[in-house]
């Protein structure tokens, strides 16, 4: 609910960690780059559902079209046809710190010594206030670009910093001077009138990949976006790497030493199941999480069901490992997104049914294992267990394919404050009682690491254990940014 009592999410928004953004860039002379960006953003829609935008350049001018809404709601054929050029960048946004208004939609535009840039960002900068002060120092009291016109995103701060930086020979040199100043999570795509650029923070918190499309190149948050536009995956943009793409091909520069700490929650929930990160297929990782979960938390039950869609791969793995049959116990309404129609009090209380409805003939009289990817506040699981019991379930055993979420994220996921996280204030038995389950089991930290299949020291588990890879002042760092 928002402050006016409107149903802004059909499930409690705080019960899923929301990634803030997805980014896409393409350099492909002779192709309809705006259409490629549109389809790329469509593949990244899960990373942000509140605003979308595309900027293109024809070599002389940068054109931009952005608005509040889903990709399919923001763009139409006339808008895409007006965005001509040989390169484009795009962005989908989940509004958190900055209000969900047009001024905070991306890409952002800004003037530099070398022309205009458009910039899109996935992540969160923990030193945004320092950067704003630096912009003021470099340019006087003038807050440049969109930050000077009311934007409250750290993306606008970065754009303004590019514009305030003086005395360099090119945008590339400006970037090499600016990027080391940014602290936190950032996967950036940006462009001037001629060139596409991309950069990834030294920890590589958020994914960013490079693909080849005929004689052109694509940069995207996930490999699934490469697939949808017919691009071939080449490699990941490395942590601390700055990439330049133009008519001479791809050039790479290092602006900071690589210290990989990729987000573990990308594997748990955020990324699409058909995406590959660090050589690991997300669907396979989630399936393995379910298998290990079944070994760690056995139970006598009749069927295994998933909380669709994010819990499905782990639920299948749990069923395969436990030998308990997998069944479709819940039907998801694929057409329910965010709604701003004010519901009645009764409908607010039953909001989960707008998105999920039980198959009574499957559930009635059964001992059920229901698998989900995470619990944040517990509201969704409480409503879900109640719904399954009303449908006649004999027992409801909840299994979670990740450890308890106990700490906020400062690197690009919208989690509530620590005080609002149910696992911070309650132990396992108390959480089980709160959601009215017959039993509750979380995947262990060790089990999650085994399922991901990467060295633990190369992953970020801060939301699970409070070990932040870079220093964070929890009093001044914003929980979210882009």
pLDDT number for residue 240: 98
Whether 81 and 224 map to the same domain: the answer is yes
Residue 75 belongs to some domain of the structure: yes
Under the banding of pLDDT at 50, 70 and 90, the label for residue 226 is: very high
Whether 321 and 350 map to the same domain: the answer is yes
By DSSP bridging, strand 184-191 and strand 115-125 are: antiparallel
Whether 328 and 239 map to the same domain: the answer is no
Residue 434 belongs to some domain of the structure: yes
Whether 407 and 439 map to the same domain: the answer is yes
Whether 375 and 442 map to the same domain: the answer is yes
Range of the domain at 48: 22-260
pLDDT number for residue 255: 98
143-147, 181-185, 455-459, 471-475: the lowest-pLDDT one: 143-147
Whether 111 and 189 map to the same domain: the answer is yes
Whether 455 and 313 map to the same domain: the answer is yes
pLDDT number for residue 78: 96
Angle between helix axes 282-296 and 312-322 (nearest 10 degrees) is 50
**What tokens does 379 get?**
């509201």
Under the banding of pLDDT at 50, 70 and 90, the label for residue 168 is: very high
**What tokens does 80 get?**
């895409």
Whether 140 and 233 map to the same domain: the answer is yes
CB-CB contact of 118 with 109 (8 Å) = yes
Average pLDDT, whole number, for the chain?
A: 89
Query: In the chain, what is the straight-line distance between the N-terminal and C-terminal CA atoms, in Å?
Result: 22
Q: How far apart are CA 265 and CA 455, in angstroms?
A: 15
- Residues with catalytic function: 21
Whether 29 and 148 map to the same domain: the answer is yes
> What would the pLDDT profile of 122-167 be if each residue is shown by its tens digit?
999 999 889 988 888 877 655 655 665 556 688 999 999 999 888 8
The helix or strand, by DSSP H or E, that contains position 191, with its residue range, turns out to be strand 184-191
pLDDT number for residue 120: 97
Provide the number of structural domains found in the chain.
Answer: 2
Residue 38 belongs to some domain of the structure: yes
Whether 320 and 255 map to the same domain: the answer is no
Binding residues for [4Fe-4S] cluster: 263, 409, 460, 463
Closest to 55 (Cα-Cα) out of 176, 165, 197: 197
Identify any residues that bridge with 62 across adjacent strands, giving them in sequence order.
57
> Is residue 336 over pLDDT 80?
no
Place of tokens 């946004």: 93
User: What average pLDDT does range 75-91 have in this prediction?
Assistant: 97
Q: Which ranges in 198-343 belong to alpha helices (H)?
A: 223-229, 264-265, 282-296, 312-322
**What tokens does 278 get?**
């660090």
Closest to 11 (Cα-Cα) out of 402, 274, 350: 350
Binding residues for Mg(2+): 310, 372-373
Residue 419 belongs to some domain of the structure: yes
> What would the pLDDT profile of 260-284 be if each residue is shown by its tens digit?
999 999 999 999 999 999 999 999 9
Q: What CATH number did the domain enclosing 247 receive?
A: 3.60.20.10
pLDDT number for residue 136: 84
Residue 431 belongs to some domain of the structure: yes
Strand (E) positions, 69-114?
Answer: 87-93, 108-112
User: What average pLDDT does range 66-92 have in this prediction?
Assistant: 96
pLDDT number for residue 288: 98
Please say which residue of 200, 226, 260 terminates a domain.
260
Please say which residue of 225, 260, 295 terminates a domain.
260
> What would the pLDDT profile of 438-454 be if each residue is shown by its tens digit?
999 999 999 999 999 99
> Is residue 1 over pLDDT 50?
no
Please say which residue of 260, 287, 322 terminates a domain.
260
Whether 94 and 123 map to the same domain: the answer is yes
Binding residues: 263, 310, 372-373, 409, 460, 463
pLDDT number for residue 3: 32
Residue 137 belongs to some domain of the structure: yes
User: What average pLDDT does range 366-371 have in this prediction?
Assistant: 98
Residue 221 belongs to some domain of the structure: yes
Cα–Cα distances in Å, from 301 out to 322, 368, 370, 394, 396?
10, 6, 10, 10, 9
Residue 109 belongs to some domain of the structure: yes
User: What average pLDDT does range 95-114 have in this prediction?
Assistant: 77
Under the banding of pLDDT at 50, 70 and 90, the label for residue 67 is: very high
pLDDT number for residue 337: 56
Whether 345 and 241 map to the same domain: the answer is no
Q: What CATH number did the domain enclosing 446 receive?
A: 3.40.50.2020
């Amino acid at each position: 609910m928002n402050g006016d009592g409107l149903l802004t999410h059909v499930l409690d928004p705080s019960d899923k960690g929301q990634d803030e953004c997805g980014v896409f860039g393409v350099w492909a002379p002779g192709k309809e780059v705006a259409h490629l960006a549109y389809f790329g953003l469509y593949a990244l829609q899960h990373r942000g559902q509140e605003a979308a935008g595309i900027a293109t350049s024809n070599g002389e001018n940068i054109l931009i079209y952005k608005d509040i809404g889903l990709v399919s709601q923001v763009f139409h054929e006339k808008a895409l046809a007006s965005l001509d050029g040989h390169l484009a960048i795009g962005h989908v946004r989940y509004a958190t710190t900055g209000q969900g208004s047009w001024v905070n939609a991306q890409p952002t535009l800004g003037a530099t010594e070398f022309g205009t840039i458009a910039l899109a960002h996935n992540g969160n900068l923990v030193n945004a206030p320092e950067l704003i002060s630096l912009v003021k120092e470099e340019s006087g009291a003038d807050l440049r670009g969109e930050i000077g016109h009311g934007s409250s995103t750290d993306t606008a701060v970065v754009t303004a910093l590019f514009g305030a930086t003086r005395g360099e020979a090119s945008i590339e040199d400006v970037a090499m001077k600016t990027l080391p100043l940014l602290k936190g999570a950032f996967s950036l795509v940006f462009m001037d009138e001629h060139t596409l650029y991309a950069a990834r923070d030294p920890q590589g918190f958020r994914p960013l990949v490079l693909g080849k499309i005929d004689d052109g190149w694509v940069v995207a948050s996930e490999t699934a976006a490469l697939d949808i536009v017919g691009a071939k995956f080449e490699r990941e943009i490395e942590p601390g790497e700055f990439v330049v793409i133009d008519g001479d091909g791809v050039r790479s520069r290092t602006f900071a030493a690589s210290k990989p700490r990729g987000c573990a929650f990308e594997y748990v929930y955020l990324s699409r199941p058909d995406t590959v990160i660090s050589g690991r297929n997300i669907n396979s990782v989630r399936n393995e999480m379910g298998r290990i979960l079944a070994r760690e938390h056995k139970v006598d039950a009749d069927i295994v069901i998933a909380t669709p869609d994010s819990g499905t791969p782990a639920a299948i793995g749990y069923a395969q490992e436990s030998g308990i049959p997998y069944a479709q116990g819940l039907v998801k309404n694929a057409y329910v997104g965010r709604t701003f129609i004010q519901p009645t009090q009764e409908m607010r209380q039953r909001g989960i049914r707008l998105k999920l409805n039980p198959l009574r003939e499957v559930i009635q009289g059964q001992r059920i294992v229901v698998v989900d990817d995470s619990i944040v506040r517990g509201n969704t699981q409480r409503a879900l267990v109640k719904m399954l019991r009303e449908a006649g379930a004999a027992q409801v055993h909840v299994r979670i394919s990740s450890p308890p979420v106990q700490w906020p994220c400062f690197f690009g996921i919208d989690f509530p404050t620590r005080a609002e996280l149910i696992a911070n204030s309650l132990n396992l038995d108390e959480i089980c009682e709160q959601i009215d389950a017959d039993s509750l089991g979380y995947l262990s930290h060790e089990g999650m690491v085994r399922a991901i299949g990467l060295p633990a020291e190369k992953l970020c588990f801060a939301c699970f254990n409070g070990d932040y890879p870079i220093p964070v002042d929890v009093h001044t760092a914003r929980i979210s940014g882009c």
